[in-house]
């Protein structure tokens, strides 16, 4: 799929205030610093479209980006950021869960996982919660440039093994990406195109 346009539309903390056009959308979620905003910039090839930072906790709102004038990419705040206060964590959690439970336009979530990390409870629990609520999702492994090809394969296989031995009979679709190298960009865009309704 070719990206002809990518425009920031709106940021907010309430699902009710998200754009009300009936366009399909795809939301990126995962731990803080995993590379959600960077992936949006890589997919759209627009540096600086979504704000990124080396420090976790950069994205704090629900951000809508309109692509090719007919669908949305959504950048969300990360979860699991230790330096956010307990109260803020609850607020974040509430509007993220509200977003996923109420957003009718959502076609699929993408759960981002740093390819270097072993499976972590918070990610597994989040995926389980998506499953329980019948919210479709795919896994996107990020920062693949940080590992050699055989290490990539090993990490991904062991991650998928964890999923199929604990939560799922079948692993969800998965993608291996690097925003800095553009790895996986075409595959991810083609997948979005293929599930676009």
| Direct distance between the N- and C-terminal alpha carbons of the chain, in angstroms, rounded to an integer | 15
Shorter beta-carbon distance to ligand GTP: residue 106 or 183: 183
63 sits near Mg ion (criterion: CB under 5 A)? no
Strands (E), the chain: 6-12, 25-30, 62-67, 71-75, 106-114, 137-142, 174-176
Classified as helix, coil or strand, 42 is helix
How many whole angstroms from its chain centre is CA 139?
A: 8
Which of 18, 28, 34, 37 binds Mg ion (CB under 5 A)? It is 37
Partner whose binding site includes residue 44, from ligand GTP, Mg ion, none (CB under 5 to 8 Å by kind): none
User: Interface residues with ligand GTP (CB under 6 A)?
Assistant: 32-38, 52-54, 56-59, 77-78, 142-143, 145-146, 178-180
CB of 29 to Mg ion, least distance (A): 10
Query: Which residue is nearest to ligand GTP, using beta carbons?
Result: 78
Shorter beta-carbon distance to ligand GTP: residue 94 or 161: 94
Residue 186 token pair: 């075409």
32 sits near Mg ion (criterion: CB under 5 A)? no
Shorter beta-carbon distance to ligand GTP: residue 108 or 179: 179
What is the SS3 string spanning 155-194? Answer: HHHHHHHHHHHHCCCCCCCEEECECCCCECHHHHHHHHHH
Shorter beta-carbon distance to ligand GTP: residue 52 or 155: 52
Q: What CA–CA distance (Å, rounded) separates 93 from 132?
A: 17
Contact positions toward Mg ion, by CB under 5 A?
36-37, 58-59
């Amino acid at each position: 799929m070719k990206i002809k346009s990518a425009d920031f539309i709106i940021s907010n903390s309430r699902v009710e205030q998200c754009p009300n056009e009936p366009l399909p959308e795809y939301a990126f979620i995962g731990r803080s610093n995993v590379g959600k905003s960077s992936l949006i910039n890589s997919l759209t090839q627009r540096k600086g479209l979504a704000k990124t930072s080396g420090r976790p906790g950069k994205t704090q709102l629900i951000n809508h980006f309109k692509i090719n004038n007919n669908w949305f990419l959504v950048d969300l705040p990360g979860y699991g950021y230790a330096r956010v206060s307990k109260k803020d964590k609850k607020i974040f959690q509430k509007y993220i869960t509200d977003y996923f439970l109420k957003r009718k336009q959502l076609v699929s979530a993408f759960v981002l996982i740093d390819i270097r990390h072993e499976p972590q409870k918070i990610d597994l629990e989040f995926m389980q919660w998506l499953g329980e609520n019948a919210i479709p999702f795919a896994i996107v492994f990020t920062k693949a440039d940080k590992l050699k090809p055989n290490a990539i394969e090993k990490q991904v296989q062991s991650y998928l093994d964890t999923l199929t031995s604990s939560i799922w009979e079948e692993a969800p679709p998965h993608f291996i990406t690097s925003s800095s190298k553009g790895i996986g960009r075409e595959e991810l865009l083609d997948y979005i195109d293929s599930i676009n309704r």
